[in-house]
Amino acid sequence: MDNEKKIKLLQMIYAGALADSVLRLDTEGILLKVTAEKKQEQLAGGKLRAAQLGIQRPIQVFEILPEIFGCANWKTEQNNEGFKATATNCMLCSLSKKLGAGSPCNIYCLDAMEGLIKGLDENAGYNVISTLWSQNECKVVVKTER
């Protein structure tokens, strides 16, 4: 098996493991509690995690993470205030829906991205407009200082 196929397989296995954990957390009735706790961890560790991943600018969060995890097809569009990021497909969201789990969007994606962005720019605005869990696209608006 070539390296590209191995990476894709590992990405699928990882997304499956995350979807399974969301199912178990949801079944136990603690998904929302754990998500809130994890968000605080993500915000506190965002600066260090960004450095570990080689992310230097907020927009790179939506470029580098898809390269690594292969989960969502994020596209970014810069504007005068920062940028907008949209995704129309997400492997983790699809797998979680198929399993009948709760939403994985915050615990494993959106809160982590917010932590990275605010780790790079503590004054950045981060607004989730929609998610693929309930709508046809995931949309995030990020306002950054210039």
Enumerate domains of the chain plus CATH numbers.
Answer: 3-143 (3.30.1380)
CB-based contact 53:60 (threshold 8 Å): no
Q: Per-residue pLDDT tens for 66-84?
A: 999 988 999 999 999 999 9
Q: What is the chain's mean pLDDT, rounded?
A: 96
- As a whole number of angstroms, the distance between CA 38 and CA 27 comes to 18
Pick the closest to residue 42 from 103, 95, 105, 114 (CA basis): 114
- As a whole number of angstroms, the distance between CA 99 and CA 2 comes to 29
Query: Residue 146: is its pLDDT beyond 70?
Result: no
CB-based contact 100:123 (threshold 8 Å): no
Confidence (pTM):
0.93
Using pLDDT thresholds of 50, 70 and 90, give the confidence band for residue 39: very high
